[in-house]
Structure 1
Amino acid sequence: MKRIILLAFFCCNLLNTVFAQNWDWGGPMDPLQEKFKVLHYELSLQIIPNTKSIQGKNLVTFEAAEKLDTLRLNLIDEYQVEKVLMNGQEVSFVHQNDLLDILPIDCTCNSVEIFYGGVTPIALNPPWTGGFTWEIDLLENHWMGLSSQGEGAKIFMPALDHPSSEPSQGVDLFFTVEKPYFVAANGRLLEKIEEGDLVTYHWATDYHINNYGVNFTLGVFHEAHTLFRSISGQDIMMQVFVLQEDRLKAEALLEVLKVSTATHEKYFGAFPFPNDKIAVVETPYLGMEHQTINAYGNNFQFVPMGKVQYDWLLHHELGHEWFGNKMSVGDWADMWIHEGFTAFGDWLFFEEHGGSEAYFNQAASVIQSIPHAKPVVSPPNSTEEEAYHGEIYSKGAAVVHGLRGVLGDEVFFPMLKAFNNDERFTYQNQVTTQDFIDFVNAYTSQDLSEFLNYYLKTTEIPEVNIKKKGKSGYLVSLKGIGFKIPVEIQTSNGLEKISLGSKPTFVPSLFELKVDPKGWLMLNHK
């Protein structure tokens, strides 16, 4: 579906000006942008709710192996670029087709400062069709949220807008607003600067961060906080920011966040950004995984799960701190690694707090709903729009679930944690589907390439075929595959794990077999 972003601005005379644009990102890397790497963004913006606009600058620090004739950044045309500075001098630029081409002066400059501003693009269906969402809360205060997973950072700042580009030295974020407004953003709040009726909040993170993970939310908030003791032994600041109208719900939300964090840590490892914070902020749209400041708009719809309260939205977005933020992909073709592992983490909450039956019921419910319409892995150099579809969640999780069934818990869970803690694929290093397959093969000393490629890169599902063979057994095969899969089979001797392929395998049993009775695998039972 095309992402059509409408940009609306109601002027003082109530004239409504609407702009339309189709934004996407990813795909092949622009040759001009392959010549440099972004090290750091220093974004300074005044947020002006009355006009739904932003005004400010972005200082981009970069490195290049050679002198650049053109420094190409991305910024939507709806913003007006006022000037560009390098080494304190104004330089020429061309801003069109959502590209900002800067013509550097004759210097060894490694930074550029872009001054820009304008009315913000309005989100039509956040977070899926993103942009800015401007609302008024019940106390008649402005409330703004930003979502940009499908559009990239160019809808709010000049950037090298490609999933492979993450500022290796993090970001500094300065947001100026009128009192009494607050801006929640990534990293740590370093300072609060008051000047008359204005206040500036300075947030910063030293960690790598993906472009759509950079985020900020404006409102009049109530904050609740605690220290979370990580399995690493470190105490980490944990915060929730909710609207004043919801202040009585803040402590309950904080407890839900605490339980979800502990659950993720058990299966994935220690929280990935301990020097910053664990936090969520209430947003005027459903939610999104913004590094250390996840958007939360699920209206506190907690449900009991065992002895704890569960919020599916909060738990899912928090899981992206491990898969999506700590471990990220440079090509949207592999986007399932963000979504599939995180969705599998949702299932693990069911097991941890609801028990094994709750886990398998959840897995069966999701697996039965998978249409098998598109491969989980998209072609290389896919854009976000090409790669994003429902099966990267559901089938991606089902593949990981199936791998658990094949390997067994004693191998699978240590492997899962080891994968997300492998420095080759985390923080400054991004990951691919092939990296994952190679890791599984090396860790398990098994070649599971055909199994994983079949489920990740095709839409086919093996068909279970069972035929009675005499009085003492059955011939069992999986039609449509050229490899074997270890499958649990319920026989008269109990639950056995037997390797099945397209050629029939004799399985002794005095009564009718049940192939994969727990539902580990995506199989077509005819």
Structure 2
Amino acid sequence: MRVGRRRVASLAVLVSVFACTPSDMAATGGTGVAAASGALGPLHGPAYGSSRHGSPHQPRYQPGAPGIGDSDFPTDGNGGYDVAHYALDIRYTPSSKQLSGLATVQATATQGLSSFHLDLAGLRVGRVTVDGAAARFSHEGDELIVTPARPIDRGAAFTTAVTYSGTPRPERDPANLGTYGFIPTDDGAFVACQPNGAKTWFPGNDHPADKATFDFTITVPEGTTAVANGEQSAAPVTSGGSTTYRWRERHPMATYLATATIGKFELRQGTTPDGVPVVAAADPRFHASLGKLYTLSGEVTDYWSKVFGPYPFSSTGGVIDDYQAGYALETQTRPLYGGFSPQDAIVAHELAHQWFGDSLSISRWKDLWLNEGFATYAEWLWAEHKGGATADATFRAFHARPASDPIWSYPPGRARPNDLFDQSVYIRGGMTLHALRKAIGDETFFELLRTWTATHRYGNVTTDEFVALAERMSGKDLGPLFDAWLFEPRRPASPVT
């Protein structure tokens, strides 16, 4: 999620900087795409037909779909396989802005595959192999189309290796999402990829419905630091003027949450009071903020572990970079703060996402309120925990907005692809949870949150699943409540206090 630095003037009771919508983010320019093609000869073996598979008209092997099936983002992700693991070995030179990489993608076919797609934008592909054998490939727009030397059976595990290089070009969508992806900076790169910017620096299945574990090997000029997700799997090694960093995220992660942020960073490492490892990093310009980021990240992580259930990952922390992104992103285990010292509410928001958005990931972008509404409500809970405005006072202040306010005409239960990060997804999403809390009571509500995070830990979720669980645990028909708060284009009545 993106938390902007803009203050919500109409809500005096909030002391935090609240969520900005993408329209608040200025960005210009476009995205270029390199084209390439492989040069292998004809495939070996039959690609179609099999007496083992029903009708002769039903091919045994077919091309994988160029999208994962999200109607709002039809070319995001890919069909025909599930990724289990990415091993990304990249080298980046800030002075020339040149990136070279070898991505090794371990996956399982969910159908017989004659060919399949990987998402990759703006980089040149030199070679592709599947299970060690050279594969034919073509690069059409953001789609890398791979034809293996032999077709892949349904249920078979296979490994694809892609060698690539070029100058990363971030995605730019000024009307909606701003600038995101692999963003070159003067001393490195700010890498924040929501919703579909992972394709700007590695080939993959770029949609949150297909999560995988990650290994990162990142080589940069000596004196430069590379920070990724998870924990360092080996000590940095310096040789020949370059330093190689190795990080590993052993828990499943959506591609947009992967980062390889590079720059001149100061690091602070330790543990939270409850023993969770902490890694905090800051550009020297934000040296004065490093101590607070380290301490606050630990405090928030431990508190949310009591409210939402056990922390789902093996480390926590954050990174403050000097790039003026104007937003933050909940990159798994290590939220990014783009060019500002985050206020307490923003840290509380991004770390709440480790449960809601990272461990529990949405299956389709239309359900984004399950990420942003929950993290926004976490801000209100944090303020109340620290002696500020109560969640109820914050709710009532927002509900006092006039019926003409734009948040009432945008039902947050169906995030719009051309306005994905609208304030309604955040504010009305959070208000939905408070209305639910009023309807079912505190004891059931907070038990519901812990059951939700435990039941779907490391998986994918939908709004229908949350509604069904809330009704089962409360014993109430909650359809009218969720319809009013999530799906009606008008201001709902205030719940009874």
Q: CA deviation at 1:147?
A: 1.8
| Residues 1:90 and 2:134 are matched in the alignment | yes
Q: Which moved further from structure 2: 285-294 or 244-253?
A: 244-253
Within-5 A mapping of 1:450-465 = 450-462=480-492
Which residue of structure 2 aligns with residue 129 of structure 1?
Answer: 179
Equivalent residue runs for 1:163-312 within 5 Å = 163-167=208-212, 170-191=213-234, 192-230=236-274, 235-274=275-314, 277-283=315-321, 284=323, 285=325, 286-297=327-338, 299-300=340-341, 302=343, 311-312=344-345
**Residue 381 of structure 2 contacts residue 390 of structure 2 at CA under 8 Å; is this kept in 1?**
no
Match of 1:119 in 2: 167
Which deviates further from its counterpart, 65-74 or 174-183?
A: 65-74
Q: CA deviation at 1:75?
A: 0.8
TM-score of the superposition, structure 2-length normalised? 0.79
Post-superposition offset of 1:47: 1.1
Amino acid at match of 2:476: Q
Between Structure 1 and Structure 2, how many residues are aligned? 426
Q: 1:152 Cα shift?
A: 3.3
- Structure 1 CA distance for aligned equivalents of residues 134 and 222 of structure 2: 33
User: How far, CA to CA, are the matches of 2:496 and 2:77 in structure 1?
Assistant: 50
CA-CA distance at 1:30 after TM superposition: 6.5
Q: In the alignment, is the contact (CA less than 8 A) between 2:27 and 2:178 conserved in 1?
A: no
Q: 1:319 to 1:65 in 2, by over 3 A?
A: closer
User: Is the alpha carbon distance of 1:462 and 1:291 closer, same or farther for their aligned partners in structure 2, counting shifts above 3 Å?
Assistant: closer
d(CA) in 1 for partners of 2:252 and 2:328? 21
Which amino acid in the other structure matches residue 299 of structure 1?
F
Q: Write the mapping of 1:415-430 to structure 2, written as runs, cut at 5 A.
A: 415-422=448-455, 425-427=456-458, 429-430=459-460
Specify whether residues 249 and 454 from structure 1 end up closer, same or farther in structure 2 by C-alpha distance, changes over 3 A only.
Answer: closer
Distance 2:112 2:291 in 1: 54
Aligned with 1:129: secondary structure?
strand
Whole-Å separation in 1 of the counterparts to 2:125 and 2:336: 29
Q: What is the identity, as a one-letter code, of the residue corresponding to 1:249?
A: S
1:26 deviation in Å?
A: 7.2
In 1, the alpha carbon distance for the partners of 2:262 and 2:245 equals 11
Provide the residue aligned with 1:105 in structure 2.
Answer: 149
- Aligned equivalent of 1:373, options 409, 412, 422: 409
- The aligned counterpart of 1:517 is none
TM-superposed CA distance for 1:20, in Å, is 8.8
Greater strand proportion = 1
RMSD between aligned residues: 2.8
Aligned letter for 1:113?
A: A
Contact 1:94 / 1:100 at 8 angstroms: preserved in 2?
A: yes
One-letter amino acid of the counterpart of residue 426, structure 1: R
User: For residue 318 of structure 2, what is the amino acid of its counterpart?
Assistant: V
1:413 maps to: 446
Q: Which residue type is aligned with residue 211 of structure 1?
A: T
Assess if the C-alpha contact under 8 Å between 1:280 and 1:293 holds in 2: yes
Q: Is 1:362 matched up with 2:394?
A: yes
Instruction: Tell me which residue corresponds to 1:353.
Output: 386
Cα displacement string for residues 306-361 of structure 1 (whole angstroms, at most 9, x for unaligned residues): xxxxx222221111101000111111111100000010000001111115x44333
Q: Which amino acid aligns with 1:255?
A: T
Aligned residues of 2:191 and 2:261 also touching (Cα < 8 A): yes
CA distance 1:128–1:401, shift in 2 (3 Å): farther
**Could you report, residue by residue, the CA deviation over 1:256-284 in whole angstroms, capped at 9, with x for unpaired residues?**
2122223322321221103xx10101122
**Matched residue type, 2:139:** H
| Identity rate, percent | 25
Matches within 5 A, 1:4-19: 6=29, 19=32
- Secondary structure of 1:460's partner? coil
**Distance across 2 between alignment mates of 1:199 and 1:290:** 23
C-alpha contact 1:25 1:150 (8 A) present in aligned 2: no
Question: Residue 134 and residue 270 in structure 1: after superposition, are their counterparts in 2 closer, same or farther (change >3 A)?
Answer: same
Q: Which amino acid aligns with 1:130?
A: Y
TM superposition score normalised by structure 1: 0.75
Is 2:134–2:148's contact at 8 Å kept on the other side of the alignment? no
User: CA separation in 1, counterparts of 2:399 and 2:167?
Assistant: 43
Shift of 1:107: 6.5
Q: Partner residue of 2:496? A: 487
Q: Deviations for 1:83-137, whole angstroms, at most 9, x for unmatched residues?
A: 112233322101012101000012667011111111111465797431333344x
Unaligned ranges ≥5, structure 2 = 1-21, 35-66
SS in 1 for 2:139: strand
Give the superposition deviation at 1:246: 3.4
Matching residue's letter, 2:330 = E
Partner of 1:396 in structure 2? 429
Native 8 Å contact 1:32 1:70 kept in 2: no
Cα deviations by residue, 1:225-247 (Å, 9 ceiling, x for unpaired): 221244xxxx2211211123433
Q: 1:200 to 1:385 in 2, by over 3 A?
A: farther
Supply the distance in 2 between the matched residues of 1:73 and 1:113 (Cα, whole angstroms).
11
In 2, the alpha carbon distance for the partners of 1:210 and 1:203 equals 16
Amino acid at match of 1:71: F
Q: Secondary structure at the match of 2:340?
A: coil
